[in-house]
Each structure stands twice: as C-alpha cells, then as structure tokens.
Amino acid sequence: MAELNENFIKLPGSYLFSTVAKKVSAYQEAHPQADLIRLGIGDVTKPIVPVVIEALHKAVDEMGHAETFRGYAPDLGYPFLREAIAAEYTRRGCEVSSDEIFVSDGAKSDSANIQEIFAPDSRIAVCDPVYPVYVDSNVMAGRTGDYDAADGTWSRVIYMPCTAENGFVPELPKETPDLIYLCFPNNPTGTTITKEQLQQWVDYANRVGAVILYDAAYEAYITEEGLPHSIYECEGARSCAIELKSFSKKAGFTGLRLGYTVVPKEIVRGGASANALWARRHGTKYNGTPYIIQRAGEAVLTPEGDREVMEQVRYYLRNARTIRDGLTAAGYTVYGGVNSPYVWLKTPDHMSSWDFFDLLLSEKNIVGTPGSGFGPHGEGYFRLTGFGTYENTERAISRMQKL
C-alpha cells in the first residue's frame, strides 16, 4: 500500500507567498475596481534589457536550424556560462573555478535542493526571520523534528533571532549546527553584514566543521563600500561555504529562471566531496538549464549587459530608498533599503503582521508581506519591496503616510 510522505504532511498551511496570492485574489474578486499596488512578493517589474533580448532572439534562431540546434545541455551548465561566471569571481579577487559552478533554473530550486546532499539527520541553523524555503525544504526531508503550532517553530531547528537589537545579524548559536543558512543582503530584513562579521561566521564554521549555505541572491544591490559581495572574500570560506546566486533580482530573470551554485572542491567530509555529490544530483535529478536561457545569462555578464542591468538595479534601489525615507518621515521605524531592494518596517501600534497586512490591503489597497510569515521573530514586522514602478512606489508611500 503506497503511503504519502508524512514529512510533507507535517508542513503547516501553504507556502507563504501562495497564501498572500490567495488573499489578494479574493480581495480583488470582491473589489474589482480596487487600484492595488503590489509591493509584496519580490518580483521585478522592469522588462528584460535589450542586450539580453537580443541574445535570446539569437539563441532562438539557432534552435531553429539543424546546424546550430542544441539538444540536451551539459547537466552542470554550458562551459561558456560557467567560465563567464568564474571570470566574475576572479575579477572580485575570489578563487572559484568553472568546475565549481553549477548552473540551474534558479536560486529557489538550488536553496531547496542543496540540503539533499547532506546527511538526513543534519541539524540546521537558520536566521529568524528567514526565507521560508530553507526551513520548508528541510521539513520535507524529515530533518526538523516536531512543529510547535503555538510559536511556529520546529524542535530540531536552531533559530538565530535577527532583530533590531542585534542589528539583524545573528549571534553564533549556542548549540552546534551542521548546516548554517545565511542570506546577505538579507531577505526579508533588507539589512546586510560586514566582511568582519562574515569572517567570524566562516571561522566558526571551520572550527566546528559546519557548512554555510550562503544565499547571495541580492548581492548586486550592495551600494556601500566594504561589504562582502561573496563569502569567498573571506579567508577559509572554500572549506566551509557553498554560495547560491541568482540572475532574478540582478537582471530581472524571475520569469526566465537562471541561477547557479558554487561548491568548492575543498568541502570534503568522510572522504566524499560535496562538489561530486552535487554534480551527481544534477546528473540524476536535473537535465540542464535551457540553452537559450544560458545565452541570456551570458549576455548579462558582458560589459554592455552589466551596464544595462545595473541601471535597473539602481532604479529599484531608488524605490527602496523612497520607501525608507517616506515611511521614516511619516514616523515608521524602518530598516534595510540601502543595500537591498527590501524595506523591513515595524508594524505601527504593535499590530500583528497579518493584521497589518489585512489593514494595508483593505484600507490602502497595498500588498506587502507579513513579517511573521518569515518566522516567529518576524512577528510585528512587515516587508515592502522596491521592485514596483517608481510611480506606484511613490503613490503607495503617500497612501501609507495618510494611514
């Protein structure tokens, strides 16, 4: 008798953004005239830049002719893209070779799948609040123990609170984890970490033998000097850190799907190599990223592509700054929005995150994301994103100032 996976059934409710989407649909159906402004899900609004569109058309044409048609892509990515990515690391002074780069359909898939190559009983540590995928994918893998509905925590997960009090940078955990998920610039808080702070994490991981899963999906949004763009800027990171990167937020690829993961060959445990295991997972459970999408990624990494996409990044950063400054002026307590497209605000009058979500949706027709959806320590916070249009962002802030 086939049985379904109890670990999946343990997952409470539905994925955060699906819940948000359902609430918004229901509101919209009931109020078809409402002029909704969406600053909730971290989806971009700017179109794909011209250099990338040109690369896509060219690759599509190649697919239409027998001489240039491409069938199965190499599991791990085309050499032209892996080498272009490795060259980016070299330019930053980081030691990463092309055979340590694994091209994928995006950082969400990678951050959900990467846990598979580690022991089933690994203990994970996550920031709280946190991008839900890190925890949920481990719940599905049966690693997280029991769920406490009262406070929304799992018994085997080590939570590292990130609040205003510690500047949203977690302290080293008291219990020793096997896997540590870090994301800087951070989703959802929009804050980041200094190189010295990150070096402490790398030293800690090497000391206790942990592996850091470093999500750098928002790296392109760093504007201040001295902040690490990659964990490999830290000494010793190659023996303890896997880095996840995305084209989604840098180049607007949320609908094109392209990301990559760096697995240094120095991560070896019990004689086995994490790099080899991740390669085996790609070879068995994945069949390569579409050729035309990989060509699009290559175009992003040209000087002209970089110029075009960074113009969009600066546009979104201006939005984030507009939210930050506008809400600060209106008396809100606000974080992030400087090295990140995300602004993290305290809900007014100690409202709960979901109450504030409902209020903003119904009174101001603004969609944000409730902080508690990212973990218990997100309660009382709320996330807005700079990914809307500038006009809508200004209108939304003006509405919120009148709340």
Cα-based distances in Å from 177 to 66, 118, 153, 157, 160: 52, 13, 16, 9, 11
- Return the SS3 of 53: helix
Q: Which is nearer to a copy of itself, 285 or 307 (CB)?
A: 285
- The reply to whether 108 sits near a copy of itself by the rule CB under 8 A is yes
- HSE-up (13 A, CA, CB side) for residue 52: 23
- Residue indicated by tokens 């610039």: 185
Among 40, 77, 106, 305, binds a copy of itself (CB under 8 A): 106
DSSP 8-state code for residue 162: -
Q: Which is nearer to a copy of itself, 106 or 326 (CB)?
A: 106
Q: Which of residues 331-350 bind a copy of itself (CB under 8 A)?
A: none
- HSE-up (13 A, CA, CB side) for residue 39: 34
- The reply to whether 72 sits near a copy of itself by the rule CB under 8 A is yes
- The reply to whether 30 sits near a copy of itself by the rule CB under 8 A is no
Q: How many residues bind a copy of itself (CB under 8 A)?
A: 84
- Compute the Cα dihedral for 176, 178, 184, 186 and give only its sign: negative
Q: Is the bond preceding residue 32 a cis peptide, omega within 30 degrees? A: no
Q: What are the phi and psi torsion angles at 288 (to 5°)?
A: 90, 155
Residues 6+ apart with CB under 8 A from 280: none
Q: Which is nearer to a copy of itself, 192 or 246 (CB)?
A: 246
- The reply to whether 274 sits near a copy of itself by the rule CB under 8 A is yes
Q: Which is nearer to a copy of itself, 116 or 171 (CB)?
A: 116
Q: Which of residues 287-316 bind a copy of itself (CB under 8 A)?
A: 287-293
- The reply to whether 394 sits near a copy of itself by the rule CB under 8 A is no
Site string for a copy of itself, 217-256 (x = CB under 8 A): -----------------------------------x-xxx
Q: Which of residues 132-171 bind a copy of itself (CB under 8 A)?
A: 132-133, 136-137, 140, 142
The window from 90-98, 112-120, 145-153, 214-222 that contacts a copy of itself (CB under 8 A) reads 112-120
Least Cβ distance, residue 195 to a copy of itself (angstroms):
23
Q: How far apart are CA 393 and CA 104, in angstroms?
A: 32
